[in-house]
Structure 1
Amino acid sequence: MSIRRKRTTMCICIFIIIIFLLLIQTVRYIFRRRSPIKYVDEADLSRFGNVSWPQQRIPRVIHQTYRTYDVPEIWNSTVQSVMKMNAGDFEYRRWSHSDMDAFVRQREPDFYRNTFVHYAYDMQRIDSFRYVLMYHIGGIYIDMDSACYRPLREFVATLEALDPSSPYLALFPAEDAFGVQTDFIAATPGHPIYKQFISQLPLFHHYFLIHHITILLSAGPLFATFQERFFRQTDQQVVRILKNKIYTTEFWKTNGGTWFGRDTLFILYIYYNSKRLLGYLIILAIWLAIFFIGIIIYRRWRSHCPKSLTMIQVNQYPLLKNSPLRLIRLKQKESRPE
Structure 2
Amino acid sequence: MSNFLNQRSRATLVSSFFLFLILLGCILWPWFCAALIWQKSTINYPIISLSNHTRMKIPAIIHQTWRDENTIPSNWQQASNTCRSLHPNYEYRFWTDAAGRRLIEKEFPCLLSTYDSYPYDIQRADVIRLIVLYVFGGIYLDLDVICLKPLDQLREYEFILPKTMPAGLSNDVIIAQPKHPFLLQLLNNLPKANRNYLTKYATVMFSTGPMYITHEASNYVNHSSIDVLSQDLYGKYTHNSTRSLFKHLKASSWHGNDAALVKWIYRRRIILLLLLAVSVASALALIYLEVISGSSAEANKEKAKDSSNTAGERVGAGIDYVKDKCEEAGHAASKEVNKQKAIH
Task: Name the amino acid aligned to 2:67.
Answer: R
1:206 and 2:188 matched: no
User: Which structure 2 residue ranges, 5 or more long, are not aligned?
Assistant: 1-31, 236-240, 265-344
Contact 2:144 2:249 in 1 (8 A): yes
Equivalent positions of 1:32-51 (< 5 A) are 32=40, 36-40=44-48, 44-45=49-50, 48=51, 50-51=52-53
Higher helix share: 2
User: Which structure 1 residue ranges, 5 or more long, are not aligned?
Assistant: 1-23, 160-168, 275-338
Q: What secondary structure does 1:131 align onto?
A: helix
Tell me how far 1:148 sits from its aligned partner.
2.0
- Give the structure 2 partner of residue 325 of structure 1: none
- Give the structure 2 partner of residue 256 of structure 1: 251
1:112 and 2:112 matched: yes
CA deviation vs aligned residue, 1:32-69 (integer Å, no higher than 9, x gap): 569741111xxx21xx2x33x32x32111000011112
Q: What secondary structure does 2:189 align onto?
A: helix
- Give the structure 2 partner of residue 139 of structure 1: 138
Tell me how far 1:105 sits from its aligned partner.
1.1
* Structure 1 residues 117 and 39: CA distance shift in structure 2, 3 A: same
1:226 and 2:215 matched: yes
Cα distance in 2 for residues equivalent to 1:234 and 1:76: 35
Task: Name the amino acid aligned to 1:142.
Answer: L
Q: What secondary structure does 1:58 align onto?
A: coil
Cα distance in 1 for residues equivalent to 2:255 and 2:138: 32
Cα distance in 2 for residues equivalent to 1:194 and 1:182: 12
* Structure 1 residues 223 and 265: CA distance shift in structure 2, 3 A: closer
1:96 and 2:96 matched: yes
* Structure 1 residues 59 and 265: CA distance shift in structure 2, 3 A: closer
Equivalent positions of 1:1-338 (< 5 A) are 32=40, 36-40=44-48, 44-45=49-50, 48=51, 50-51=52-53, 53-54=54-55, 56-70=56-70, 71-88=72-89, 90-113=90-113, 115-157=114-156, 159=157, 169-233=158-222, 238-248=225-235, 249=241, 250=244, 251-254=246-249, 256-257=251-252, 264=254, 267=257
Cα distance in 1 for residues equivalent to 2:221 and 2:190: 18
Q: CA RMSD in A?
A: 3.0
Cα distance in 2 for residues equivalent to 1:213 and 1:135: 25
Identity in percent: 25
* Structure 1 residues 68 and 29: CA distance shift in structure 2, 3 A: closer
CA deviation vs aligned residue, 1:150-170 (integer Å, no higher than 9, x gap): 10112224x2xxxxxxxxx11
Contact 2:41 2:167 in 1 (8 A): no
Structure 2 length-normalised TM: 0.58
CA deviation vs aligned residue, 1:143-193 (integer Å, no higher than 9, x gap): 010022110112224x2xxxxxxxxx1100001211101101111111110
Tell me how far 1:127 sits from its aligned partner.
0.3
Task: Name the amino acid aligned to 2:92.
Answer: Y
Structure 1 length-normalised TM: 0.59
Q: What secondary structure does 1:241 align onto?
A: strand
Q: What secondary structure does 2:132 align onto?
A: helix
Q: What secondary structure does 1:39 align onto?
A: coil
Task: Name the amino acid aligned to 1:244.
Answer: Q
Task: Report the count of equivalent residues.
Answer: 220
